[in-house]
Amino acid sequence: MRPVIGVISDVKTINGQVTHGVTEKYIYAVARGAQAMPVLIPGTISAVDAAMAPERVVIEEILDLVDGIFLPGSPSNVGPHHYGDRPHDPPLPADPHRDDISLPLITAALKRGVPLFGVCRGFQEMNVAFGGTLFQKLYEQEGRFDHREDSTLDLNGQYAPVHDVALTPGGLLAGLAGAETWRVNSLHGQGVATLAPGLDVEAKAPDGTIEAFRVPNTPGFNLAIQWHPEWRFWEDKLSTGVFTAFGAAARLYAEERRGNPKLKATG
């Protein structure tokens, strides 16, 4: 039986309808790269056509159902009030219904030892959830280069590797890559301003931007990556290794939980 990995959904309005969903590339990477069963987790569910209070997803109920949590990227950003900043004028794309679920889910999953993996927005969510801050416009910071994709290119061009990252010696990524540096894609407008206390850097860009981190000395697998390893992951050794490691951790967690049902209730 494959482990079940919950994938956080974006909440957006399409043709006047509120929609919860995830871009397929992330689902495919979880299904094939991690060899797991992806299950979409909605954000806050609003009664858009009735005078009813929003239905909140219960964090502990989610963790009772899954063997891992995956936080995918998104065009939206973490609400700046979550890290003590004010929104830009005009405001940048946001998704408060996703924030409402993802931020408390991150800390609860880490506490319980549920394998946790964040990419791009998920990377930023993890830093904020643990007490870090973000640059809302990284490309306007002195000494930082523009990490956004070239929108004039097709998808293959936008997701092509464009810069190296230095992998921390002895870190998880350095071990998976078997190298000190790795060439990665870059499609983000925001980035870490202050890394949350207690996190270990796993990779940095040449301009000093933190590109990956982990929470050390905690039960279970956890990793946050700013670039997009899900894009054609099978063509890249490090991307393949990351999803394989995530899936292996989810399988181990599932086996331990099924062997000890009390883990479902107590973590």
Structure tokens at 105: 């889910």
CA dihedral sign of residues 140, 165, 182, 34:
negative
The question of whether 230 is a catalytic residue gets the answer yes
The question of whether 211 is a catalytic residue gets the answer no
Structure tokens at 3: 């482990």
Out of 120, 125, 188, 211, which one is annotated catalytic?
120
Dihedral angle, C-alpha 212, 217, 220, 223, nearest 10 °: 0
Out of 97, 147, 188, 228, which one is annotated catalytic?
228
Out of 82, 88, 230, 256, which one is annotated catalytic?
230
Judged by DSSP in three states, 46 sits in coil
Contacts of 118 by beta carbon, 8 Å cutoff, 6+ apart:
70, 71, 106, 124, 125, 126, 223, 224, 225
- C-alpha distances out from residue 135 to 32, 157, 222, Å: 33, 25, 23
Give per-residue burial for 137-164: e unless 16+ CB within 10 Å, then b.
ebeeeeebeebebeeeeeeeebbeebbb
Among residues 245, 242, 222, which one has the least CA distance to residue 230?
242
The question of whether 188 is a catalytic residue gets the answer no
Phi-psi region of 19 (alpha: psi -120 to 50; beta: other; left: phi over 0): beta
Give CA angle at 267 (174, 102), nearest 5°.
Answer: 65
Separation CA 199–CA 147 (nearest Å): 22
Point out the residues that are catalytic.
Answer: 120, 228, 230
